[in-house]
Amino acid sequence: MCELRKRGLATAVIVSDAFLRLGKTQARVFGVPDLPLLLIPHPLGGLSLEQVEGRAAHAIPQVLKLLKERAA
Amino acid sequence: MTNLAELLKTPGASLECEDDFDAVNELVRGRGWSDGLPVVPPTARRVEEMLAYCDRPWDEPVAKIAPRYGDATPLRLAANAVMAGCRPEYFPLLILVTEALCEEPFNLYGVQATTHLCAPLVIVNGPVAKELDINSGHNAFGPGWRANATIGRAIRLALVNIGGAIPALGDMSTFGAPSKYSYLAAENEAASPWEPLHVERGLPREASAVTVIGAECPHNVNDHESLTAEGILTTIAGTLIAVGANDIYYHQAQPLVVMGPEHAKTVADGGFSKADAKRFLHEHAQLPMRRFSNENIERRLRVTFKERLGAAGLDEPVPMVQRPESILIAVIGGAGKHSAVIHTFGATKPVTRALRLRDGRYAKSVADFRSQ
């Protein structure tokens, strides 16, 4: 993901909030501290299909915002 | 090898502190450079003594430790070895373990950052285990032995200080485990009726080696009654069965069976080779699918093993490990009718690495690494 970002593509990593610090650290380690991290509520395991759709609903507006910013 | 005074002039390579135990520990704790216990102050003199057992440039990384991917130079490793309380002659083993942990199949990133409670377990084989007085007998996984305690601790400190395995930051383990302080033992080769672990894994007996495993803590197998190989192995197989083990769900998983010498003797006296024992364990460490929760059956077992279990009935047996040869066996411990089952993180493979000199020859002794 970091490599794609370095190549100029619209890139983001979706992280659950409990893993935000790890995500930020990893982005820095791989040389792209500004890598967008799209936050969704923890957990990811043990979710029903409806809950998974709820997580997606959290992420989609953030993806759209990212793409619009890139286009602007 | 290298001039330490020159190396320490590199920005960030050293820092000054009052020459006082409490002051050093205050500084170390403040920077998060510890496992929580006090450390031995890594003075230039002590670090240099450690590096006397290093046959390579002190500032050349031997590996990068995930998840921070920090450069594990001999200089940094030596500082951590001093902090852990290692004797200088232990140092070649710390370098070797670091290299083994950073080989790709081990998946150190996963082992370090996972929510699972695994820690790298190190099994030491060969003549160097004896030379360094690494405990392989009573209480081998426990306290009371300097080599086991401090080499294991040095590994942890390197994983934290160089690799960034900081709780809730680079180490996301839900619980952690006491084995994260130190987890290292030698195989009790003298008490084993079989070929040692490193020989089974393709090395000559005279080589010294480490095998690293992304492991849970040992789970005891008490069997004071069985008089036959089949009896002992039935009890071990029954202890391997754990519906919450990661090993079930990963094709490459390789759990470790540690046999106490008395159990191993009973099994070998029954005519079982290691391969025979593994076949028996694999066959008997299985559970009908109905013993798993409905959600685990539908969302995991039927998906991960689609071909075999996708449409299978609830009486279909689910093996705890995919293949007999995936089970590792080592003989460790002292007297007593016990063995231990050690499950793993699952998404990791054990790595065995031999202690070699830079020209590729097997080291006969840690003295071969002395540079001065």
Q: Test A19 with B172 for CB contact under 8 angstroms.
A: yes
Q: How far is A31 from chain B (nearest CA, A)?
A: 11
pLDDT at B329 over 90: yes
Which pLDDT belongs to residue A28? Answer: 93
Q: Which of residues 241-270 of B touch A (CB under 8 A)?
A: none
Of B67, B168, B295, which is closest to A26 when you measure between CB atoms? Answer: B67
Q: What share of chain B has pLDDT > 70, as a percent?
A: 99
Q: What share of chain B has pLDDT > 90, as a percent?
A: 97
Which pLDDT belongs to residue B90? Answer: 98
Q: What share of chain A has pLDDT > 70, as a percent?
A: 100
Contact B36, B134 (CB under 8 A): no
Higher pLDDT, B41 or A71: B41
Which pLDDT belongs to residue B372? Answer: 52
Min mean pLDDT across A62-71, B147-156, B267-276, B304-313 is at: A62-71
Query: Is the CB of residue A24 less than 8 Å away from at least one CB of chain B?
Result: no
Amino acid at the residue B205: R
d(CA B94, CA B132): 12
pLDDT at B1 over 80: no
Once rounded to an integer, what is the mean pLDDT over residues A38-51? 93
Whats the size of chain A, residue-wise? Answer: 72
Q: Treating both helix axes as pointing N-terminal to C-terminal, what angle do B74-84 and B91-101 enclose, rounded to 10 degrees?
A: 120
Query: Is the CB of residue B193 less than 8 Å away from at least one CB of chain A?
Result: no
Domain range spanning residue A25? 2-71
Burial B186-197 (b: 16+ CB within 10 A, else e): bbbbebbbbebb
Once rounded to an integer, what is the mean pLDDT over residues B203-224? 98
Min mean pLDDT across A10-14, B102-106, B247-251 is at: A10-14
Q: How far is A28 from chain B (nearest CA, A)?
A: 9
The pTM for the full model equals: 0.96
Min mean pLDDT across B7-11, B206-210, B301-305 is at: B7-11
Query: Is the CB of residue A51 less than 8 Å away from at least one CB of chain B?
Result: no
Closest listed residue to residue B325, CA positions, set B260, B274, B272, B286: B274
Min mean pLDDT across B1-5, B55-59, B312-316 is at: B1-5
Once rounded to an integer, what is the mean pLDDT over residues B268-297? 98
Q: How far is A30 from chain B (nearest CA, A)?
A: 9
Q: How far is B363 from chain A (nearest CA, A)?
A: 35
Contact B72, B65 (CB under 8 A): yes
User: Across the A/B interface, how many CB contacts are shorter than 8 Å?
Assistant: 20
DSSP 3-state assignment of B344?
strand
pLDDT at B2 over 80: no
The top-scoring range by mean pLDDT among A42-46, B11-15, B315-319 is B315-319
Please report the ipTM that was assigned to this predicted complex. 0.88
Instruction: Quote the number of domains for chain A.
Output: 1
Once rounded to an integer, what is the mean pLDDT over residues B18-45? 95
Which pLDDT belongs to residue A5? Answer: 87
Which pLDDT belongs to residue B12? Answer: 85
* Coarse DSSP helix, strand, coil percentages of chain A, rounded to the nearest 5 percent: 55, 10, 30
Give the list of residues 6+ apart from residue B257 with CB closer than 8 angstroms, or none.
B236, B240, B277, B281, B327, B328, B329, B330, B339, B340, B341, B342
